[in-house]
């Protein structure tokens, strides 16, 4: 039964990681309705995210390898440091710093207070409204080559907000990107690229920690299977989203976030779900 639950959670992780609807919120809520009726935990969530980030590596393989190559060559002067790909390497590095610092210093809060479903509901609604506003009124004139270091730092702090279930890593970064005037594809692509070092770092950290201090209701095999499922589903979702946002808005995701947040408030208010 635990393996079946893990597969279901891996499927949901893959479906929701790249959509601006918060995968961690969905895993947190869904866990309460599975037979085990428990929070899958921050460790399980972080490890399964390794699968979805592997999907990012596969989908953006040429882009990522080009960025790494140009950035590395720029260190020795073989490539101009103003080269767009070399700059992108630095932008990803500086954009990753906020979530590394906050993720490390706030570990106890992330595992406890941030898992409160009242907070999750509030974040689903608040960031749904912010995404809707940014998508509606953002100028959408800037592309990735226009990204500045100041914007890179700001987007890094936006990504760090995803430490709270309900915010959404891709949603927070994309929302600020739209607010700063970037196009939907540019904001989404940078959100995906920026997440790679942060998610791999937290995922492998939690994986190593789990060897000494197992956390959550699922064992190593269950978690591994869920991670593989998340990879396969996540790869398909990336392809869908990057095609979708070229012509359409984020409005369906905004409506979904508001509906889910409202439903969660009802379930909490009626005692169907407990906050922690």
What is the residue-wise DSSP string for 87-111?
HHHHHHHHHHHHHHHHHHHTHHHHH
Burial status of residue 177 (CB atoms within 10 A of its CB: 0-12, 13-18, 19 or more):
buried
Residue-level pLDDT at 43: 80
Give the residue numbers spanning the domain of 229. 2-269
Are 6 and 224 in contact, with CB atoms under 8 Å apart? no
Calpha distance 46→38 (Å, rounded)? 16
Average pLDDT, the chain: 91
Is residue 101 one of the residues assigned to a domain? yes
Is residue 276 one of the residues assigned to a domain? no
Is residue 25 one of the residues assigned to a domain? yes
State pTM to two decimals. 0.89
Residue-level pLDDT at 212: 60
Under DSSP, the state recorded for 114 is: G
Residue 182, beta-bridge partner list: 142
Q: What confidence category does residue 106 fall into, taking pLDDT thresholds of 50, 70 and 90?
A: confident
Determine the average pLDDT of the residues in 133-161: 95
Burial status of residue 62 (CB atoms within 10 A of its CB: 0-12, 13-18, 19 or more):
exposed
Q: Using only C-alpha atoms, what is the Rg of the chain?
A: 18
Q: What confidence category does residue 211 fall into, taking pLDDT thresholds of 50, 70 and 90?
A: low
Is residue 52 one of the residues assigned to a domain? yes
Is residue 100 one of the residues assigned to a domain? yes
Determine the average pLDDT of the residues in 171-181: 96
Proportion of the chain in helix, strand, coil states, percent, rounded to 5: 75, 0, 25
Is residue 16 one of the residues assigned to a domain? yes
Is residue 129 one of the residues assigned to a domain? yes
Is residue 108 one of the residues assigned to a domain? yes
Q: What confidence category does residue 259 fall into, taking pLDDT thresholds of 50, 70 and 90?
A: very high
The total number of structural domains that make up the chain: 1
């Amino acid at each position: 039964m635990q393996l079946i639950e893990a597969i279901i959670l891996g499927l949901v992780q893959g479906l929701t990681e790249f959509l601006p609807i918060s995968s961690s919120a969905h895993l947190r809520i869904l866990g309460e309705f599975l037979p085990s009726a428990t929070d899958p935990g921050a460790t399980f969530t972080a490890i399964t995210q390794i699968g979805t980030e592997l999907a990012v590596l596969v989908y953006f393989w040429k882009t990522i390898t080009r960025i790494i190559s140009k950035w590395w060559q720029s260190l020795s002067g073989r490539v101009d440091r103003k080269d767009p790909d070399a700059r992108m390497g630095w932008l990803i590095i500086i954009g990753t710093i906020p979530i590394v610092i906050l993720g490390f210093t706030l570990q106890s809060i992330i595992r406890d207070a941030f898992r409160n479903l009242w907070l999750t509901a509030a974040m689903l609604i608040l960031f749904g409204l912010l995404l809707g506003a940014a998508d509606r009124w953002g100028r959408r004139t800037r592309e990735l080559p226009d990204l500045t270091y100041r914007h890179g730092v700001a987007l890094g702090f936006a990504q760090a907000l995803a430490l709270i279930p309900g915010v959404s890593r891709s949603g927070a970064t994309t929302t600020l990107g739209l607010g700063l005037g970037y196009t939907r594809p540019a904001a989404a692509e940078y959100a995906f690229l920026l997440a790679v070092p942060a998610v791999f770092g937290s995922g492998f950290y939690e994986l190593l920690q789990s060897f000494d201090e197992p956390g959550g209701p699922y064992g190593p095999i269950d978690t591994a299977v869920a991670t593989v499922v998340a990879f396969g589903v996540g790869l398909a979702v990336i392809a869908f989203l990057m095609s979708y946002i070229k012509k359409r808005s984020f409005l369906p995701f905004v409506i979904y976030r508001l509906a889910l947040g409202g439903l969660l408030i009802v379930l909490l208010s009626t005692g169907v779900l407990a906050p922690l």
